[in-house]
Amino acid sequence: MSGSSPPAAATLAPRALRHRRSARRLTVKQRADLRSAITAAQGISDDRGYQAWAGIHGLPLPISCVHGSELFLPWHRAYLYFFEKALQDQVPGVTLPWWDWTNHAEGIPGPYGTRRAEGKTNPLYDSPIQPSGRNNPRHARTVRDPGSPGELPSTQTVERLLANRDYLTFQGELENIHGGVHVWVGGTMGEVPSAAYDPIFWAHHCMIDRLWYLWQLRHGGSVPASQLNRALAPFPMTVRDTLDITQLGYDYAASTAAAKGPNG
Ligand SMILES: [Cu+2]
């Protein structure tokens, strides 16, 4: 964690909510802002930069991400929160979009799918991988090998998921669905040690975070009391700090959040 990291969310005064939007529905300006923020973060070689943020998840060691545990959703919520703040330090107001992979009309969403955008290299298409972050020493950049869009999780799968009342059951099922999408993207995304270097990692996890939020809206669900004070290292947050996204200063775009449905 950077020495200049913001304080824990619980100590921050409430402020205007920023909306995270579907990657497919970004305006031209929102796309451009996102590309600018990622490009700027890629240009920073210290711990505020893209490579350092991607490296927190996996390589270089320690591998901090939490999978297969009760902390899967809270840990990744904290991770996205601080990464988004790092992007906002570069381009004020920018937010992470989510990839609605239940829309089978396309696989990789448009802003992430082309090598070039607006006449320049598209920083959402791929990313360098710092030498210490390479799972395979020969892989200096992220690659993808996506399946066909129809193999992605369906709206019915998401509906069944959201119907779970029990938090831990819900979380376990969501993590499984999430893992399938990592494998679907393939290449770098298919390997935990390097997955977060692929720019689409953040849009995928934003969708996971949004599904947790939709579940929270539907079930008013909290997590088991025994979980609340667990720390989410290396982030200065506990599980409790992650439960209310409006306290964290963001929301999912109103039209879709209000529908409480899976369609972004
Ligand atoms: Cu993941």
DSSP 165: -
User: How many angstroms does the Cα of residue 178 sit away from the middle of ligand 1?
Assistant: 6
Does residue 132 have a pLDDT over 60? yes
User: How many angstroms does the Cα of residue 138 sit away from the middle of ligand 1?
Assistant: 23
What is the band of 157 on the pLDDT scale with cuts at 50, 70, 90? very high
User: How many angstroms does the Cα of residue 151 sit away from the middle of ligand 1?
Assistant: 18
How deeply is 58 buried, as exposed, middle or buried, from its count of CB atoms within 10 A (0-12, 13-18, 19+)? buried
The pLDDT value recorded for residue 192 is 87
- Kindly state the greatest CA–CA separation across the chain: 52
Owner of token pair 């490296």: 55
What is the band of 176 on the pLDDT scale with cuts at 50, 70, 90? very high
User: How many angstroms does the Cα of residue 119 sit away from the middle of ligand 1?
Assistant: 31
Q: What is the pLDDT of residues 203-248, one digit of tens each?
A: 999 999 999 999 999 998 679 999 999 999 999 999 999 999 999 9
pLDDT above 70: percentage of residues in the chain: 89
Q: What is the pLDDT of residues 13-41, one digit of tens each?
A: 556 889 999 999 999 999 999 999 999 99
Q: Alpha helices, DSSP H only, in 136-199?
A: 155-162, 167-185
Does residue 61 have a pLDDT over 70? yes
User: How many angstroms does the Cα of residue 228 sit away from the middle of ligand 1?
Assistant: 22
The residue ranking higher by pLDDT, 62 or 213, is 213
Average pLDDT, the chain: 89
User: How many angstroms does the Cα of residue 211 sit away from the middle of ligand 1?
Assistant: 14
Does residue 264 have a pLDDT over 60? no
User: How many angstroms does the Cα of residue 240 sit away from the middle of ligand 1?
Assistant: 21
User: How many angstroms does the Cα of residue 117 sit away from the middle of ligand 1?
Assistant: 26
Q: Which pTM value belongs to this model?
A: 0.90
Question: Does an H or E element contain 236, and which?
Answer: strand 235-238
User: How many angstroms does the Cα of residue 207 sit away from the middle of ligand 1?
Assistant: 10
